Homo-oligomer: A and B are copies of this chain.
Amino acid sequence: MAQYQAPLDDIRFVAHDLLGLTDHYPTLHGVEPPDRETFDLMLEQGGRFSEQMLHPLYRSGDDSGCDFNGGQVRLPKGYRQAREQFVASGWPGLTAPIRWGGQALPRSVGIAINEMMCATNPPWVMLVGLPSGVMMAVEAHGDEWQKQRFFPGLVDGRFSATMCLTEPHCGTDLGILRTRAEPQADGSYHITGTKIFISYGEHDCADNIIHLVLARLPDAPTGTAGISMFIVPKLMVHEDQSLGERNRVSCGAIEHKMGYAASPTCVMNFDAATGYLVGKPNEGLKYMFVMMNDARIGSGMAGLGLANASYQGALAYARERLQMRSLSGKKNPGGAADPIIVHPGVRQLLLTQKAFTEGCRALCLDAARYGDLAEYGADESIRKAASHRLGFLTPIVKGFVTEVSNECVSHGVQVLGGHGYIREHGMEQLMRDCRVSTIYEGTTQVQALDLLGRKIMLDQGRAMNAMIAEIDAFCEQHQVHTRIGAHAQLLRGKLADWQALAGEVGTAAMKDPDEAGAASVDFLLYSGYVLLAWYWLRLTLAAEQKLANDGDAHFCQGKFKAADFYFARLLPRTLALAASIRAGGSSLMAVTDEEF
């Protein structure tokens, strides 16, 4: 299995040289912000933990999977120890409020570290990643009693957490969920229903599990307006934090999946389980969406982490594997053949991986930065503007980044050929594990509708126009720049076309709403390609600056050349996407059920 090297240099480059991430931390209210040195130190710790603790468990966890027996789930060997070390490092409380023992660090710190953990062991990350989302929702909407009962255990690592949304008949369409909540005399509720696809719904590596469950109150309105949120602990928690009797929630089965074998995906049965209403009745879905932006950026980051791991594996193999001679003459005359990295077809795969992962890293971390500002920005106008931008970026980060990440992990298999298809080198596991990223937290199709419908049309294009104005100003400013001037001019054309496409689709959708749906996925991808082009220009400028400051020449030249590759060979995909969008939805909608 290829060794993984935490891409610390590149994360630092994006965080500091491109985004000035820690510069905005001092504006975050109420916390002692980490400075650049602290950020780097945490990054190193996260990288070391990923390389040394998580990566060695990746293959073995996939081989063994989880053991399900009589409602009990045993996680793979080493999972408990890795979690114990994670807990001992204080990481469960990284972004949690200080009053509950957390460190209240900006979420972007956690997201940056998350990339490396996901690159080395994504199924394990789910075990430790869910509590922060649950705390985020309960912090915003739960009452003091709920926080006192459940936060200490989540922060000190005694408890893990889940989110229970999906049911057998509904995943995307939560409006039709059936799990019921009956009010009890003591103010609690009895929750009854079946939830599926619940990651870590049951396992043996924490003292307790806190489920955040969506359910319907009696006489709740139908649809999404009738969904409430409840806390349902596996074991009851006493005031002194000791654990009480078992709640009526149990795991009925675990799924067998394409990947993520080490992460138990549970069928959870709630049989009049005791639950506590979070916030107001019927507001549950809204609360759930509080953490969605965060989770969706995390999904993008997870996808690109796997893509980067695949790039590393493919690159190492391409440098060593001797096969055929270069078309332009022997490059390794002393060897039996040339290393395959000399072949253009292999380089195309590798550079596609490089351009996507490094470009997406900038996009994801920038989105995480807006997430910080949206939550902790110094004043309301900053928070509002950041939230607006974040809302626009989120479906692109989730939808586009996971789609191109799936392309990248498949390329990684291809570089190794038959050796990529066998398990030994680990490339196929990256592909299997990445495949779910375009599905969970809302499929690409759902992201695409979110972008075009809610974030552009309902917004009357404001967020998009602000984005375009910012990028266009950047391009105008640099259109005679030696290195990026020509690219900047090209990008201005793409921006104009992007805006035109939004207008054309919007007009068509007013007559026929299906036109929006028919354009949506291609439009989301188009948006991603344009944004990534902008990040690649900015990465180029940051690399120029770095080079001028005696930065590593290979590193900086690599950025210049990856940007050139992106503009030459990947950005042209916008041509196909634009043509496909402009062809309209009639060819999709005209087919009757019998004609498929």
**Residues of A with Cβ closer than 8 Å to B?**
166, 169-173, 175-176, 197, 255-259, 265, 315, 319, 322-324, 326-328, 336-337, 341, 343-351, 354, 406, 410, 413-414, 417-418, 420-424, 428, 431-432, 435-436, 438-440, 443-445, 448-449, 512-514, 516-518, 520-521, 554-555, 557-558, 561-562, 564-565, 567-570, 572-577, 579-580, 583-596
A421–B596 contact, CB under 8 A? no
Chain B residues, Cβ within 8 Å of A595:
554-555, 557-558, 561
A323–B554 contact, CB under 8 A? no
A337–B173 contact, CB under 8 A? yes
Q: A346-B445, A423-B258, A580-B568 known; A591 and B436 CB under 8 Å?
A: no
B587–A319 contact, CB under 8 A? no
Which of B166, B323, B520, B554 has a CB less than 8 Å from the CB of A344?
B520
Copies of this chain, complex-wide, total 2
Which of B169, B413, B428, B587 has a CB less than 8 Å from the CB of A561?
B587
Chain B residues, Cβ within 8 Å of A575:
572, 575-576, 579
A432–B593 contact, CB under 8 A? no
Question: Could you say which of A255, A348, A349, A431 has the most chain B C-beta atoms within 10 Å of its C-beta?
Answer: A348
Chain B residues, Cβ within 8 Å of A570:
580
> Which 8 residue pairs across A and B have the least CB separation, nearest first?
A344-B517, A345-B445, A572-B579, A568-B583, A258-B428, A558-B595, A327-B513, A576-B576
A514–B445 contact, CB under 8 A? no
A572–B576 contact, CB under 8 A? yes
Not counting A257-B428, A565-B591, a sample of 20 additional A-B residue pairs whose C-beta atoms are within 8 angstroms of each other reads A169-B322, A176-B322, A255-B423, A258-B432, A259-B421, A265-B422, A315-B596, A326-B514, A327-B516, A341-B593, A341-B596, A344-B517, A345-B517, A345-B520, A347-B518, A349-B445, A413-B435, A558-B591, A561-B590, A575-B576
Helix, strand, loop or mixed for chain A's interface? helix
Chain B residues, Cβ within 8 Å of A520:
344-345
Residue of B whose beta carbon sits closest to that of A256 = B423
Chain B residues, Cβ within 8 Å of A440:
418
CB distance from A533 to the nearest CB of B (A): 14
Chain B residues, Cβ within 8 Å of A176:
322, 336-337
Residue of B whose beta carbon sits closest to that of A440 = B418
CB distance from A584 to the nearest CB of B (A): 7
Residue of B whose beta carbon sits closest to that of A170 = B323
Chain B residues, Cβ within 8 Å of A350:
596
Distance between Cα atoms of A4 and B580 in the complex (Å): 31
Q: A336-B176, A572-B583, A583-B569 known; A591 and B351 CB under 8 Å?
A: yes
A589–B347 contact, CB under 8 A? yes
B439–A257 contact, CB under 8 A? no
